[in-house]
């Protein structure tokens, strides 16, 4: 360690931890800087040639001293550990904030209060996870993948991991639910874990700089990504294979020691281990939650920050240190970039991305043919970013081919400083300052953007009948169902109806408090037959286990929205089903959707028969019965709404009168049974009675079984369709007696067959007419 003292007593320092810094701390004594054993040294010849040493009168150096930094009540102090002899000596020196702000993230990471290296983790990847062995991931990650039973990487992971791990920028496009989070998450975690395991444990008192920033469009997605990555850092005992100990835990404790097949450490032994802050920490910064708490978390130091642009920009504006850290990131990820520009946070996103641009022109690799290389492969290096430079990952299920081509072509064009804010995704992505001269684009999205395990279907119906069809669907095919509506009003209208009909439904939209949003999501996740009525805030990235069905109550406005909504089901190779409800006025939108998905569409915008989404069969007889139930539910809802409105108005009037110190008429003011209150009280009573009567009627109606036509419930072996057979085979439908219990999608009517039938019918009619005409004309 060498230090030099300037005329002002400032310090010149090197902060690389030396071997001595790992030694155990012994008795310490505080001395001043003057007490150190300084030795005069010659000024270097280049000292006055712009090397930053101008103004120094003398240079002195001292050997065998380590500098470590500690946060104290009076600010950050430098402690000088003097080695040799009987022990170590500590000297305190204030570190000016200016010095801190100017430091590189690397330098800050190295400021650690050091006692020991973390205990190493081992994992026998070759034997236990041979498919992952080629990536040489950190053993902690191997353990997690093993515990989660992720025996093989998904295709997007298999293709992007080698690229990302060797330092390339990656644009990854793959179907929904294909494991994109880990495709970018594993390389980041690998890098950070490798770093922390090769250096001493960081002090909890020093704010660690953010190394990776992951931007996500919605709060729920950001929280999910953060918890997903955190789960990868949770200690896992390999011997408890399959039990996935610690899986999905949101917090990561200090990483545990263990060898490939080591036994689980007893709990008490574990708890006796010295506690230190997580070696790699992940945190989410999202709107709708306490900003103060999030600032506190940031001040403790976060290695991987997952954020929504709005809240992050709010915090950055008040936190210069964070802004500096963002300028010196090691990893930047845009998850679902295309959605981010739709969420109304474009300006914030743009501001954040501007912080990540290169500062000096020299840093830009400007190839000669940067703009000239149209579709041809540029001739430059394909090695990725330079060591320690920012690596950028952009992932989505929907990035157009044109955009990918443009990205590749113009990746080396440095965004101009005064460029006007862009308004499209293309502009946004083209502004990203990829350090890699040629970012890798990996697009393995399926043709037509339909996930192989997804069954699509549609129902053509009137807008006014959509409630009945939805209710029919929910009863006919029970399962966890996510219903997308295009407006919050629709959710507010539908929710009480479904509740009255005995269906467990929860809302999810932007006007709910964040706490409520998360609570509803949790309830939906934990109830197998629950229904989530959501706007498109739930369309992107949410990884809810086993969503059986997705229903588009209204046709989505864009093809991307259709793909992402569908992507909430049929994830990770599971089967899924989607139903598109199409009213006559939505047909055009649906055709345009199919067109932009690249499904074959004729010139007149009619979808080719074989490409059309098959229709879901509906027992119209049942539907009529359901309409009657719905009608009653609507009446109840209307009365309840009236009662609520009246109560609200009365309360409002009372409060307003109190505030203005005015006396109200007695019938308005009184809650008592007084005579003056009689008319309004009577009205209220009448409404309550009406509600009760209607509810009783609905209850009775709901208790009546829905019986299919031609089925006898009295004699189960008789009727056109015998229920007894279904009871024996286990195909008995609990909600609709007489119908077979089948999974949604198994009884679809292919569009082709339907059209062929219609055509055959039309042809037969024509022939009939021809024959008739023939006879008549003879």
Ligand X SMILES: Nc1ncnc2c1ncn2[C@@H]1O[C@H](COP(=O)(O)OP(=O)(O)OP(=O)(O)O)[C@@H](O)[C@H]1O
Q: Interface residues with ligand X (CB under 6 A)? A: 150, 153-154, 157, 176-182, 397, 541, 543, 567, 571-572
Tokens at 488, concatenated: 């919050």
- Which CB sits closer to ligand X, 272 or 526? 526
CB of 138 to ligand X, least distance (A): 16
* Cβ closest to ligand X, residue 132 vs residue 473: 132
> If you count them, how many residues does the chain have?
778
* Closest residue by Cα to residue 389 from 16, 99, 106: 106
Q: How far is the CB of 148 from ligand X (least distance, A)?
A: 7
Nearest distance from C-beta of residue 589 to ligand X, angstroms: 23
Nearer residue to ligand X within complex by CB, 282 or 601: 282
232-235, long-range: CB within 8 Å, 24+ apart, which pairs? 232/140, 232/141, 232/144, 232/182, 232/185, 232/186, 232/189, 233/140, 233/144, 233/189, 233/193, 233/278, 233/279, 233/280, 233/282, 234/144
Half-sphere exposure of 643 (CA within 13 A, CB side): 18
CB closer to ligand X, 5 vs 454: 454
To the nearest whole angstrom, how small is the minimum distance from the Cβ of residue 247 to ligand X? 9
Q: Which is nearer to ligand X, 182 or 590 (CB)?
A: 182
413-to-132, 165, 396, 706 alpha-carbon distances in Å: 36, 24, 22, 65
Comparing CB distances to ligand X, the nearer of 142 and 738 is: 142
Contact 708, 418 (CB under 8 A): no
Sign of the dihedral through C-alpha 666, 667, 670, 676: positive
User: Smallest gap, in angstroms, from Cβ of residue 542 to ligand X?
Assistant: 7
Of 550 and 723, which has the nearer Cβ to ligand X? 550
Determine the Cα–Cα distance for residues 601 and 428; give it in Å rounded to an integer: 30
| Alpha-helical runs (H) found in 303-345 | 309-318, 320-327, 337-340
Cβ-Cβ contacts under 8 Å for 147 (sequence gap 6 or more): 236, 238, 240, 241, 242, 243, 244, 245, 246, 247
Cβ closest to ligand X, residue 139 vs residue 567: 567
Least distance between ligand X and beta carbon 251 (Å): 18
Tell me how far, at minimum, the Cβ of 166 lies from ligand X, in Å.
Answer: 20
Residue 221: CB minimum distance to ligand X, A: 7
* Nearby residues of 483 by Cβ (< 8 Å), 6 or more positions away: 470, 494, 531, 532, 533, 534, 550, 551, 553
Residues with Cβ within 8 Å of 393's Cβ and at least 6 positions away in sequence, in order, are 164, 169, 170, 171, 172, 184, 187, 331, 332, 333, 334
Which tokens sit at 592? Answer: 């345009």
- For residues 185 and 229, the answer to whether their CB atoms sit within 8 Å is yes
* Residue among 653, 691, 695, 690 at smallest CA distance from 670: 653
Half-sphere exposure (Cβ direction) of 220: Cα atoms closer than 13 Å? 25
Kindly state the smallest distance separating residue 539's Cβ from ligand X, in Å. Answer: 9
* Closest distance of CB 544 from ligand X, Å: 9
Geometric angle at alpha carbon 423, from 422 and 426, rounded to 5°: 75
Shortest reach from residue 137's CB to ligand X, in Å? 12
DSSP 118: P
Residue 738: is it exposed, middle or buried by C-beta count within 10 angstroms (0-12/13-18/19+)?
buried
* Closest to ligand X by CB, 395 or 469: 395
Which C-beta is closer to ligand X: that of 178 or that of 254?
178
Alpha carbons within 13 A on the beta-carbon side of 150? 21
H-only helix segments in 319-379: 320-327, 337-340, 346-355
For the bound state, the minimum distance from the C-beta of residue 581 to ligand X, rounded and expressed in Å, comes to 22
Q: Tell me whether residue 176 or residue 254 sits nearer to ligand X (CB atom).
A: 176
CB of 527 to ligand X, least distance (A): 19
Measured from the CB atom, the residue of 343 and 640 that comes closer to ligand X is 343
Query: Which pair of tokens denotes residue 441?
Result: 């684009």
Q: Whose Cβ is closer to ligand X: residue 234's or residue 328's?
A: 234
Count of Cβ atoms closer than 10 Å to residue 441 Cβ: 19
Residue closer to ligand X by CB (options 258, 567) is 567
Minimum CB–partner distance for residue 171 and ligand X (Å): 14
- Beta strand spans in 515-582 (E): 531-534, 549-552, 576-582
């Amino acid at each position: 360690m060498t230090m030099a003292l300037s005329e002002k007593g400032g310090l010149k320092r090197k902060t690389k931890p030396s071997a001595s810094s790992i030694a155990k701390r012994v008795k310490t004594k505080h001395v001043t800087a003057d007490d150190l054993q300084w030795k005069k040294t010659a000024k270097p010849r280049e000292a006055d040639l712009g090397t930053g040493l101008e103004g120094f009168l003398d240079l002195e150096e001292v050997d065998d001293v380590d500098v470590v930094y500690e946060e104290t009540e009076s600010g950050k102090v430098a402690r000088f550990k003097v080695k040799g002899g009987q022990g170590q000596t500590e000297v305190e020196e204030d570190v000016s904030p200016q010095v801190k702000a100017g430091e590189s993230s690397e330098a800050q990471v190295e400021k650690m209060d050091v006692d020991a290296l973390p205990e190493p983790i081992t994992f026998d990847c070759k034997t236990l996870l041979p498919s992952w062995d080629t990536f040489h991931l950190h053993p902690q990650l191997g353990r997690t993948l093993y515990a989660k039973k992720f025996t093989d990487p998904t295709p997007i992971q298999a293709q992007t991991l080698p690229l990302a791990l060797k330092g390339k920028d990656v644009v990854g496009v793959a179907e929904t639910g294909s494991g994109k989070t880990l495709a970018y998450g594993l390389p980041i975690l690998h890098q950070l874990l490798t770093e922390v395991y090769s250096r001493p444990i960081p002090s909890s008192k020093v704010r660690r700089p953010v190394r990776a920033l992951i931007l996500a469009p919605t709060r729920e997605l950001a929280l999910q990504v953060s918890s997903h990555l955190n789960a990868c850092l949770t200690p896992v005992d390999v011997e408890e294979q399959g039990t996935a100990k610690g899986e999905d835990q949101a917090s990561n404790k200090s990483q545990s020691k263990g060898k490939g097949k080591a036994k689980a450490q007893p709990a008490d032994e574990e708890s006796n281990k010295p506690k230190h802050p997580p070696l790699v920490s992940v945190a989410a910064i999202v709107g709708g939650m306490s900003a103060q708490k999030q600032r506190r978390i940031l001040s403790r130091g976060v290695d991987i920050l997952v954020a929504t642009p709005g809240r992050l920009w709010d915090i950055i504006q008040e936190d210069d240190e964070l802004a500096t850290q963002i300028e010196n990131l090691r990893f930047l990820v845009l998850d679902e970039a295309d959605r981010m520009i739709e969420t109304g946070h474009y300006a914030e996103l743009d501001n954040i991305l501007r912080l990540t641009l290169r500062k000096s022109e020299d840093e830009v690799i400007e190839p000669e043919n940067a703009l000239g290389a149209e579709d041809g492969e540029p001739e430059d290096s394909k090695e990725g970013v330079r060591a320690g430079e920012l690596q950028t990952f952009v992932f989505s299920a929907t990035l157009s081919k044109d955009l990918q081509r443009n990205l590749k072509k113009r990746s080396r064009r440095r965004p101009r400083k005064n460029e006007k804010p862009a308004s499209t995704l293309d502009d946004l992505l083209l502004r990203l300052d990829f350090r890699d001269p040629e970012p890798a684009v990996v697009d393995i999205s399926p043709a037509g953007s339909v996930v192989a395990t997804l069954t699509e279907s549609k129902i053509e119906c009137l807008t006014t009948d959509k409630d009945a069809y939805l209710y029919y669907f929910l009863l006919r095919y029970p399962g966890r169902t996510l219903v997308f509506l295009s407006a919050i009003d629709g959710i507010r209208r539908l929710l009480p109806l479904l509740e009255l009909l005995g269906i467990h439904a929860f809302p999810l939209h932007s006007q709910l408090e964040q706490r409520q949003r998360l609570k509803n999501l949790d309830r939906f996740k934990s109830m197998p037959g629950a229904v989530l009525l959501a706007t498109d805030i739930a369309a992107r990235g949410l990884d809810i286990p086993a969503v059986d069905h997705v229903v588009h109550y209204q046709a989505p406005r864009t093809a991307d929205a259709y793909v992402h909504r569908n992507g909430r089901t049929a994830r990770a190779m599971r089967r899924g089903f989607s139903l598109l409800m199409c009213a006559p006025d939505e047909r055009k939108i649906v055709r345009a959707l199919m067109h932009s998905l690249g499904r074959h569409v004729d010139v007149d915008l009619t979808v080719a028969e074989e490409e059309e989404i098959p229709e879901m069969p509906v027992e119209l007889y049942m539907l009529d019965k359901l309409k009657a139930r719905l009608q009653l539910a609507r009446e109840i809802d209307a009365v309840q709404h009236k009662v609520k409105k009246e109560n609200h108005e009365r309360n409002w009037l009372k409060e307003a009168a109190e505030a203005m110190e005015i006396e109200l008429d007695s019938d308005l003011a009184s809650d008592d049974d007084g005579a003056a209150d009689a008319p309004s009280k009577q009205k209220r009573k009448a409404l309550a009675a009406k509600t009760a009567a209607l509810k009783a009627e609905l209850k009775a109606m709901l208790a009546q079984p829905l019986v299919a036509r031609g089925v006898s419930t009295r004699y189960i072996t008789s009727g056109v369709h015998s229920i007894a057979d279904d009871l024996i085979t286990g195909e008995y439908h609990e909600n609709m007696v007489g119908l077979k219990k089948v999974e949604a999608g198994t009884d679809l009517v292919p569009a082709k067959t339907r059209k062929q039938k219609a055509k055959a019918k039309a042809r037969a009619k024509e022939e009939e007419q021809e024959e008739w005409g023939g006879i008549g004309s003879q």
